[in-house]
A and B are shown apart, each in its own frame.
Chain A
Amino acid sequence: MAYLKDQRRETMMVEGSWNIGAYRYKGSTQLQEYVDGLKEKKLIGSLCPGCGKVIVQPRNICGRCHRRMDKRMVVSHKGTITCFVISPPIEKGKYKIIGMDPVEAGIIQEGAILVPVFVRFDGADSNINTILLNSSPEQVHIGMRVKAVFVENPEGKLSDLEGVEPLKE
C-alpha cells in the first residue's frame, strides 16, 4: 500500500500538559449523606422496598429491581471479609499509578504490603472496598471477621473510614 509512511519512524509528537485539577465534578446527594454519616462514625446504606436489600454506600435506585431507595439504614461496624488481594512489598521506582510513584509521593511507605479487601458489614447486602489494617497477609482469609477503623476526629470525608482491622469476638 503506497500511502504507508514506510520511510518515517515516528509520527509527529507535540509536548504539552493537561491540568486535570481544573475539573470540578459533583458527586451524588447520596454520597453527601454517606459522608455526613461518617462524621458521626455511622455507616449508612439505603433499603430497597422491592427486594429488601440494604446497599452501602446508599444509592437512589436499586440496581436489580429498579425501585426508589428512599429509606436509610445504619449498618454495623462489624463485618466479614468476602474477598481480598495482596500486593507485593511496594518498592520505590517500580510502579507508576496515574503518573505518580506512590512511594515518592509519600502516599505509601516503602516496603509496605497492601491488602485491599471487600467487606460486607453486618446488616448490609453489598460489599465495601477498603484496606485491611493491623493484620498480616498470612492472617487474611475469606470469612475473616473485621471491624471498621475510623480516624480519631472524623470530619465528614470519605477518608474518615481508614479501613478495617481484625475483630476478636
Chain B
Amino acid sequence: MLRNAAIIGCGQTKHSGRRRDVSQAELVSEAVHNALEDAQVSMKEVNALVVGNMQGFGGVAQPELWIGDWIGAPGKPVLRIATGGTTGGSVGQGGFYAVMSGLYDIVVATAWEKHSDSKEAGATTGLLHVALANFFHAFGYGLSMKNLLATSAVGAAAGVAAYQARFYMHRSGCRSEHFDMVAAKCRRNAARNKYAHLQWPNCTPEDIHKTDVIVHPFRMGHVCPASDGASAIVIACENIALKKCKRPAWVKGLASYSDEENQMQSESGGGVGVLDPSEQMGARLSAMKAYAQAGIKDPQQEIDVAEIYQPFPSQELFFSEKLGLFDEGKAWIAMEKGETEINGRMPCDPSGGVNATNAIGSSALQRILEAGLQVMGKAEDHQVPKKVRNAVAHGWGGVTNYVTVTVLGETPAPRR
C-alpha cells in the first residue's frame, strides 16, 4: 500500500421505517455531522468527500448535487459511487483509495437511503427506477405477466435470496429453523444498538417461527426492514490519525470482485453459468485478496468479529463461510453452538446487521463503520467482550454478484 489510512470518526442516524421529520439532505447531514464530531474534525479540514446511495432509489437522479451543500462539500472534490446494494462498501473503499493513494489527507465517506420518500411498500418504486430496463425489454419478446411475477420480478436481491437459501440448505444440511435462530439473534443484537431499526430484546427463534411464510423457506420474520438512515466515516492518513485519535481503526486490506451475474433471464436476456447463486465467488476472491493484504493467513483464528451484509439470515451463514470464518457448509453448526453470538468465538453482526437495519445504500458502509467501532472499542452495548485485533466488513450487491470486503485492525497492515 502507498500509505496507511484509518477511520478516526464514525457517525450514523437513528434508523427507522419513516424519518418524515427530515429531508434526504438533512438525513445525510445528521450522519456527517455526527462523524465529524466523533473525529473532532471541522468541515474546513475535510479535503474531499465520497458519497452514494443505491442508484435511483428515492427517485433523485443526482442526489449529490442536492446534498453537497448540507455536508460541507462546496468547493471540494466530490466523488459519487453507486454499485447497487454494495454502494456503501464501495463508498467506504473509495474513501480509503483517496487517502491511501496520497491524494487527500482527510476524507469523509457517507452513504444513505431514504425509503419512506416513496409511498409504495419498501423499495418497490426504487426498484422500478433501477430495474426497468433489466426486464422491460422482455415484454417486447412476449414475456407473460404470470411468468414475470413468479420469476423475473423476484429476480432482484430479495428473490435470489430465496433460491440461495434453498441451495445452501441442500448442500449444507441446514434447515429453515436455523434461519429463525439467526434472525432472532439479529433482533436481539439490534436491541443493544441504539441506532438499529428492528430492535427486539429477548427475541427467540420461536417468536420468529410464529410469523407467516412469505415464500418457503422464508418467513416474514426472516426479512430485513426497509429503513431510512445514513452513515458516515472520517478517514485520515497515518500522521493525522495518530494525532487526532487515540485508537483509530486501521485499514489493513480491501478488495472487491464480482462474479457473473447471478440472476437469470435478465439484463442481457442470456443465461448464466453460475449454477448455484449462493456460490458467490466474488466474496471468496475479495476475502482472499483482502486477507493477503492484511497479512492474515488463518481468518478463523485471526479475525475477531465480522460484520456481514445479510438482509436474509441464510446469507449470514453462507457468506461467513465464503469469508473463510467457518469451513464450507459448517457455519450453521457453529451458529447452533452459539459461536456467532456477541460473546461467542466468532461474533457475526453484533450490531444486528442488515437483517435488522437496511437503509440499502448505507448498509455496506455501516458494516465498515460497525467493524471500525469494534476495533476502536466504541460499540457501547454491542461491543464484543474480547480484544479485537482484526474485524472484517462485507458488502453484497450489484446484480447480486458484486462483493466488497474490508479488513480493519488495531495496527496498520504489514509493509510490503
A-to-B contact residues, CB < 8 Å: 1, 3-6, 8-11, 20, 23-28, 30-32, 34-35, 45-46, 51, 53, 55-60, 62-64, 82-88, 96-99, 102, 105, 107-108, 114, 116, 118, 120, 124-131, 137, 142, 155-160
> In the complex the two chains form, what is the Cα distance from A107 to B143 in whole Å?
13
Given known contacts A55-B271, A64-B260, A99-B124, is B149 in contact with A26 (CB within 8 Å)? no
Closest chain B CB from A79 CB (angstroms): 13
B-to-A contact residues, CB < 8 Å: 20-23, 26, 29-30, 33, 117, 120-121, 124, 127-128, 132-133, 136-138, 140-147, 149-155, 162-163, 166-167, 170, 212-217, 260-261, 264-265, 268-275
Does A126 contact B153, Cβ atoms closer than 8 Å?
no
Given known contacts A85-B216, A87-B215, is B268 in contact with A60 (CB within 8 Å)? yes
Does A126 contact B217, Cβ atoms closer than 8 Å?
no
Does A114 contact B150, Cβ atoms closer than 8 Å?
yes
Does A160 contact B142, Cβ atoms closer than 8 Å?
yes
Does A129 contact B149, Cβ atoms closer than 8 Å?
no
- Residue in B150, B153, B217 whose beta carbon sits within 8 Å of that of A131 in the complex: B150
Closest chain A CB from B214 CB (angstroms): 7
- Residue in B138, B167, B214 whose beta carbon sits within 8 Å of that of A88 in the complex: B214
Given known contacts A1-B33, A27-B138, is B150 in contact with A116 (CB within 8 Å)? yes
Does A30 contact B264, Cβ atoms closer than 8 Å?
no
> In the complex the two chains form, what is the Cα distance from A135 to B325 in whole Å?
40
Does A25 contact B136, Cβ atoms closer than 8 Å?
yes
Closest chain B CB from A92 CB (angstroms): 14
- Residue in A55, A120, A125 whose beta carbon sits within 8 Å of that of B270 in the complex: A55
Does A83 contact B21, Cβ atoms closer than 8 Å?
no
> In the complex the two chains form, what is the Cα distance from A149 to B260 in whole Å?
28
Does A27 contact B273, Cβ atoms closer than 8 Å?
no
Residues of B within 8 A of A46 (CB): 270
How many residue-residue contacts, CB under 8 A, span A and B? 180
Residues of B within 8 A of A87 (CB): 215-216
Given known contacts A20-B128, A63-B260, A159-B147, is B271 in contact with A126 (CB within 8 Å)? yes
Chain A contact residues, majority secondary structure: loop
Does B271 contact A58, Cβ atoms closer than 8 Å?
yes
29 A–B contacts, CB within 8 A, in A order: A1-B30, A5-B21, A24-B140, A26-B137, A27-B138, A28-B268, A28-B269, A32-B141, A34-B269, A51-B273, A53-B273, A57-B270, A60-B270, A83-B167, A88-B212, A96-B124, A98-B153, A102-B145, A107-B149, A108-B146, A108-B149, A114-B150, A118-B163, A118-B264, A125-B275, A126-B271, A130-B147, A131-B146, A159-B144
What would 20 more interface pairs be, CB under 8 Å, given A25-B140, A34-B269? Answer: A4-B22, A24-B140, A25-B133, A26-B140, A31-B138, A51-B273, A55-B273, A59-B268, A59-B272, A63-B260, A63-B274, A82-B275, A87-B216, A97-B149, A116-B151, A118-B264, A126-B271, A127-B264, A130-B147, A158-B147
- Residue in A9, A86, A97, A129 whose beta carbon sits within 8 Å of that of B155 in the complex: A129
